[in-house]
Amino acid sequence: MHMDLGAAPGVPTVLYTQRQHELDTLFSSLPTPARSLEGCWRGRLMAIRGFGWLPRVFARMLYALLGTPLNPWSGKSFANGTGANRWFGVRGAAFGRFRVVEQAMSPVDQQPVVWLDYDVPENPRLLRHIRGEARQLGNGLILARMNWKTQRGLYRVLYFTLVPG
């Protein structure tokens, strides 16, 4: 079932100025999406690991830049329990596929989450280390986190938002 989206929400700019550890707290408190994720969603990156030293004003500028077509990653699409990253447009090339688990428990904060598992045969070996988590920030606004799985555990890589594309 699709979410009842209405007009696509705006992404609050305050998200772009937050560090990863600050967004961790917000992310842990969010509910899972009220409806299954389906269709194309436009993405915006933020709180990238390694950039926490940037002054907030520059971080905001960086993430604003990454929200322009200069960044080839445009978002994600979802269909029937699977999904793919979209490049060069929200309906552009699909690369980096994942399986969607809707009733999962986050190994990071032990709270319910929609789990995006990149360990699927279509992906190159490197991408299979990615584990995504998604929760609902508002009606039609998803806050998600990309983790990197190693033998020692999960490492948070970045956050991103998704709005209907």
Partner 1 sequence: MIASDVIVIGSGFGGAFAAERLTAAGARVTLLERGPWRDTPSVRAAGVGPRSPLPRGFGFFGRALRSLNLPLLPGGRLRLNAHGLFDLHLGREISVVCSSGVGGGSHVYSAMNVRPAVPDYWRERADGIDTAMMDAHYDAAITRMGARIPDASVPNFIGTRLQQNPLLRPPSVESQPAMGFRFESSTFTDNSFFGCHDGSKVTLDSLLLLPALARGLQVHDLHEVALVGPVRDGWCVTAYDHRAKVYRHLTASRVVLAAGTLNTLRLLFASRDAGALGAVPALGLGVGGNGDVPAYWRCNTADADYSRGTPCHGRFGLRDIAPGSEDDVDLTAYGLNGIDGVPMPEALRRALKRDLILVGMGADQANGLATWTGGRLRLHYSRTANFVLARIYRAFDRIAARSARPVYFLRHWPLTVHPLGGARVGDDPQQAVLDGYGQVHGVSGLYVADAAALPAAPGAPPSMTVAAWASHVAAGIAAQG
**Which chain residues interact with partner 1 by CB under 8 A?**
6, 9-14, 17-19, 22, 25-26, 28-31, 111-112, 137-141
How far is 142 from 42, CA to CA, in rounded Å?
Answer: 10
* Phi, psi (rounded to 5 degrees) for 88: 60, 45
Identity of the residue, 15 or 40, whose beta carbon is nearer to partner 1 in the bound complex: 15
Identity of the residue, 29 or 151, whose beta carbon is nearer to partner 1 in the bound complex: 29
How far is 70 from 90, CA to CA, in rounded Å?
Answer: 14
CB of 113 to partner 1, least distance (A): 11
Identity of the residue, 118 or 159, whose beta carbon is nearer to partner 1 in the bound complex: 159
Identity of the residue, 86 or 135, whose beta carbon is nearer to partner 1 in the bound complex: 135
CB of 100 to partner 1, least distance (A): 20
* Phi, psi (rounded to 5 degrees) for 129: -80, -10
Ramachandran assignment for 101, one of left (phi > 0), alpha (psi -120 to 50 degrees), beta (any other): beta
How far is 103 from 143, CA to CA, in rounded Å?
Answer: 16
CB of 32 to partner 1, least distance (A): 9
Identity of the residue, 14 or 126, whose beta carbon is nearer to partner 1 in the bound complex: 14
CA-to-CA dists, residue 19 to 4, 146, 150, angstroms: 31, 14, 23
CB of 127 to partner 1, least distance (A): 30
CB of 103 to partner 1, least distance (A): 15
How far is 76 from 101, CA to CA, in rounded Å?
Answer: 15
